[in-house]
Structure 1
């Protein structure tokens, strides 16, 4: 496998083009006082676009991200961008972290040093990890798949190959959103390599094996299924579009920074623990760094592929199938609908189930110290057996 160092270097011409497009933004007329009920709040969007055009400093963010050790790996036909931060401790455990949509590797920027060098953040050096953060295929600087069929299962195979190439025969996995699906497939298909997995979301398409010889669905489990159905009806239009007719949408978002900003910022506002105020919860700079990555890499369309592939291959189980490596789950209060422990235990080997005090869907970005502490706590007793 060919692995080369990587450095982010967006050209001045790309920055100029973005500013010119922002200056020519044509927003639709709207109804007053709608807020976020039907999409991105119009007043917020105007403020965000003005900040992006006149105040946001991409070069500052680029320099910050370039402090992370970044690489590009050629795995078959796929180029995978990744961060590889060696751990600072007596025996760091290899750990692969996987992001989701509409996030990116940028979500992990603050949590990486907390996991790699816990002693510098009030933790124990014994809990250190060698941290690997790849960008999903078609996200950020990872190349877009050239064929159909590259979903979470196939991505897990890429991650397993990458970790072996880095010299890690056994490793841990962590993920949320789409990353939870990738981490789960790693545990399912490579149990001999996985020390354990830690999730802050359960894959949306996960369905355990249910038949007459299995325990009946409990009242709590049925309540969760009803909640998922209600959420899909009121909030799930984006996923249906991205999974069925993504290319028509991608044309507009790839051409309009205003459209891209509206599409992505709505999800950060709705899915984070910001109490309706995205500026206090996420912050404009963090939000625009993520949006800018999608813009400069023109990856919004290719990022939708995971939704198409997810519909084609749901994360379901047949009779007798289970995930063997131990699982730890961190439940953040503002997360999307999460199942009860019993539903997860039907297919996973749950060993830790933690209710977190705060945070939402973007836990590594919102409260990285809280997530890092739970990851360290879960893997601590597993280090002796790895």
Structure 2
């Protein structure tokens, strides 16, 4: 695996031609004829409503300042390194505190290292923060080969931490990043001091589908889970495409910026604060910077391949491990612990009424404090 251990400093520098091309494509968007009566910008029942999407596209074209965001992102030290012939982009913010704990932050889709931009400054006093982009995401492109799934990615992350000089570390994850963290903890328990996962109540839609349901659920609990599974199933179109036909959707995401915008922004509604539009749940600059990163790196298609590889790897989901574990549940529901920790074996469990699937953007102060509390508890 350690075929090229060089760590090369990196700065984001998107060409002006690429920025101009984006604005030109947005200007020439060919919009669909809307269904009569579908003029409510808050009605996401059939996906992202066109009135709201038009607002976002116009902001992206006319008001969003990519250069300002590029400068802000370049304030975080970054590097490239090659593991198993795959280029990895890594944000590495070393703390000035000599006793700081290495902390690996792992994101999933449709996130990026941008997801942690507000969290990093809150952790700098206690942690050396490391954020790799998974294969096919952001600047961890292009894909070097097929077969980059959760297990292989976890091994690459372990190698990256070794190259940075961190023998032992804490790992935090959300979404598929949680799977990477759990895999790391299972395969390298001697290195992972503790794993901290963040989720929201929508995880219950996967109980009885991916994760086993407890045997002793009451009739009312069974009914609640069935409702949540039905809601999750109605939101699973993107998942089936990325699990099985990433090449097909990838063509649209790579050629149409509005297509890429719709594909991601709709998930910030479906997974973020349930009572808000994406722009109410997260800062618009954060949302559009994240979408821009997917657009400029053409990673809409290659990030979808990660889902295909995970689905076809045959590897079962891993959420537990023989290391200290902490969970932060946002938009909490009591059934989450009943389903995911039926034996009450997880030592650190925190529930928040606020937030959703993107807590590092939605509630960075709460998440930072919970990570800090978890690490203090296992010291």
1:93 and 1:339 map into 2 onto residues whose CA distance is: 33
1:322 and 1:298 map into 2 onto residues whose CA distance is: 34
Deviates more, 1:352-361 or 1:339-348: 339-348
Aligned residue pairs: how many? 364
Aligned with 2:44 (options 14, 36, 42): 36
Q: 1:317 to 1:280 in 2, by over 3 A?
A: closer
Is this contact kept in 2: 1:270–1:276, CA < 8 A? no
Q: 1:82 to 1:183 in 2, by over 3 A?
A: same
How far residue 316 of structure 1 moved from its aligned partner, in angstroms, is 3.3
Match of 1:50 in 2: 58
- What pairs with 1:1-386 in structure 2 (closer than 5 Å)? 1-31=5-35, 32-33=38-39, 35-117=43-125, 128-201=126-199, 207=211, 216-219=215-218, 222=222, 226-227=226-227, 229-273=229-273, 275-313=275-313, 316=316, 323-333=321-331, 340-345=336-341, 350-383=346-379
TM-score, scaled relative to structure 2: 0.89
Q: 1:313 to 1:90 in 2, by over 3 A?
A: same
How far residue 50 of structure 1 moved from its aligned partner, in angstroms, is 1.1
SS at match of 2:79: strand
Is this contact kept in 2: 1:254–1:295, CA < 8 A? yes
Q: 1:298 to 1:368 in 2, by over 3 A?
A: same
1:348 and 1:162 map into 2 onto residues whose CA distance is: 33
Q: 1:275 to 1:308 in 2, by over 3 A?
A: same
RMSD of the alignment, in Å? 2.5
Q: 1:3 to 1:154 in 2, by over 3 A?
A: same
Is this contact kept in 2: 1:138–1:144, CA < 8 A? yes
TM-score, scaled relative to structure 1: 0.88
1:9 and 1:261 map into 2 onto residues whose CA distance is: 21
Is this contact kept in 1: 2:330–2:352, CA < 8 A? yes
Q: 1:206 to 1:174 in 2, by over 3 A?
A: farther
Where structure 1 has 5 or more consecutive residues not aligned to the other structure, the ranges are 118-127
1:33 and 1:6 map into 2 onto residues whose CA distance is: 44
1:108 and 1:329 map into 2 onto residues whose CA distance is: 18
Deviates more, 1:102-111 or 1:301-310: 301-310
2:191 and 2:111 map into 1 onto residues whose CA distance is: 27
SS at match of 1:25: coil
2:344 and 2:314 map into 1 onto residues whose CA distance is: 16
2:251 and 2:191 map into 1 onto residues whose CA distance is: 40
Is this contact kept in 1: 2:273–2:355, CA < 8 A? yes
Cα offsets for 1:192-249 (capped at 9, x unmatched): 11100000139868546x9xxxx83533875675355313321111101111111111
1:243 and 1:233 map into 2 onto residues whose CA distance is: 14
1:347 and 1:178 map into 2 onto residues whose CA distance is: 24
